[in-house]
Amino acid sequence: MSNKTSPRIYNLFPRLLGSVENWDKHLKRILNMGFSWVFVNPVNYTGFSGSLYSIKDYFKLNPLFAIDERDEISWGSLKTFITKCHAYGLKFMIDIVFNHTAIDSPLISEHPSWFKKKWVIIEKSSGNKINFFERDEKPIEKEYPSEEYEIKWQIANPYAINPENANELQIWGDLAEIDYDSPDVDSILDYWRKLFDFYDVLGIDGFRVDAAYQVPSKIWKNLISYVKNKNPSALFYAETLGATLEQYDALSDANFDFIASSSKWWDYTAPWCLEQYNKYRKFAPSISFPENHDSIRVAYETDGREDIQEFKFFFASFFSAGVIMPLGYEFGFKNKIDVVKSSPKDFEKPRFDISDYILTVNKFKQKFRCLNEDGEIIHHDYSDLGVLFLKKCSIDKNQQMLLIYNKDWRNSHQINIPNIENYFRLSTLIFQIDLNGKKTKINDYHINRDLYPNEFVLYFQSE
């Protein structure tokens, strides 16, 4: 049995629900699915683009979610909602966006020294910004001919590597990048401390840190220490999707409680995912997800395959210490969440309801220490490339769980294992286990059976 449980987070995406008054009716079913946290994306007042991640005023509640103008200032409705979360035994997490502001934020005119400037390359034919350079790296016309490109010195927009295409940059033109090398960095830190004080009064328990790698590690150490001195149980979860390996490394001493996993994009074969996991688990355990607000919905990708919807959630729960799932996943929503355009009218009619399955997985996860830690994961070779052999260990390796999965969604595959004991390191009994908690002792170590499309089996050993 596990002696600790990692966060099981439900993302209550606010644009699909509208006013905070509409949120609490979801709390009972969130609890009934076995989640321990409620997470909402930014609810602060936005800039001209309307993107939840383009914040114009951090201390003002977005009118989309506020009850009235007074509530925009007081945030009373959100404080009431957080109190209701706590009454259900649920903790509350909010997104914080500290690497940029909206490009039309008054902070830019009030504190111009807080913001980065760079050389910006603009493609004349499209008007798109395609690249950025530091002051001492001014690009030359030979590289960017003036008939095709314009080079300007101006406030920089944040950007990241597209997690679905490593050769492409995602540039957010509605945003202004904050400069943590500014001589006025102390005043930037004071501003964030005041915001954390404000959030503390609201009763917020944890923070998902958007694009954490875009802010220096020393800044996070300072702010995390400040918050935890007041609330030692506060949780900080670093969103690191799109970070380069160098940016990951730079965060290694920032004292985050959790980091994001990219396992959602793994094909169950390529080595990168396990290499990343086994390297970065050493500084913080990870949180996986079957989909998020930046990705295409699983139900859309699979044309509503309920069995794949179930497995994707199980796999995220198996792979990382923590798991997070967005609103609508349980119902097979197909429309991609949009941080600019989504609204309550986009709340879809359920195609199915796997809430009971999600509860089963969350309860199963709670039982095993190896599933609540980021111990070593080993990808074992197998002659049939259509079958995945993946073993998750507790940190001390005294619990080991082997997942054997038919990753072929259309055809059955036979597994023939001469001796299942070869996949385990301990001398204790080996059990086959199912999600409902049934344990069957393995007496015949020779395993020969068929796996249906998308079927998986689990084997377990512990001291």
**For 232-268, how does the pLDDT look when each residue is reduced to its tens digit (9 = 90+)?**
999 999 999 878 888 888 898 999 999 999 999 999 9
**Could you tell me which residues are beta bridge partners of residue 162?**
165
**For 340-363, how does the pLDDT look when each residue is reduced to its tens digit (9 = 90+)?**
999 999 999 999 999 999 999 999
pLDDT band of residue 1 (cuts 50, 70, 90) is very low
3-state secondary structure of 352: coil
Local structure of residue 370 (DSSP, 8 states): G
**For 116-170, how does the pLDDT look when each residue is reduced to its tens digit (9 = 90+)?**
999 989 999 998 888 888 888 888 888 899 999 999 998 888 776 666 676 677 7
SS (H, E, C) 256-270: CCEEECCHHHCCCCC
From CA 299, how far away is CA 8, in angstroms rounded?
21
Identity of the amino acid at 340: V
From CA 95, how far away is CA 60, in angstroms rounded?
15
Those residues whose C-beta lies under 8 Å from the C-beta of residue 160, and which sit 6 or more positions away, are: 169, 170, 211, 214, 241, 242, 243
8-26 mean pLDDT: 98
From CA 263, how far away is CA 270, in angstroms rounded?
11
**For 32-43, how does the pLDDT look when each residue is reduced to its tens digit (9 = 90+)?**
999 999 999 999
**For 69-83, how does the pLDDT look when each residue is reduced to its tens digit (9 = 90+)?**
999 999 999 999 999
Q: Are 204 and 94 within 8 A, CB to CB?
A: yes
- Using the predicted structure, report yes or no on whether residue 171 has a pLDDT greater than 50: yes
Output the pLDDT for position 131: 84
- Using the predicted structure, report yes or no on whether residue 201 has a pLDDT greater than 70: yes
What's domain 8-102+183-370's superfamily in CATH?
Glycosidases (3.20.20.80)
- Using the predicted structure, report yes or no on whether residue 287 has a pLDDT greater than 60: yes
Q: Regarding beta strands 165-171 and 159-162, do their DSSP bridges make them parallel or antiparallel, or are they unpaired? A: antiparallel
3-state secondary structure of 82: helix
CATH of 377-462, one of 2.30.30.30, 3.40.50.12140, 2.60.40.1180, 3.40.50.720: 2.60.40.1180
| Domain map (residue ranges) of the chain | 8-102+183-370, 106-177, 377-462
> Is the Cα dihedral 40, 45, 48, 53 positive or negative?
negative
pLDDT band of residue 172 (cuts 50, 70, 90) is confident
pTM of the predicted structure, to 2 decimals:
0.92
pLDDT band of residue 369 (cuts 50, 70, 90) is very high
- Using the predicted structure, report yes or no on whether residue 3 has a pLDDT greater than 50: no
From CA 357, how far away is CA 33, in angstroms rounded?
8
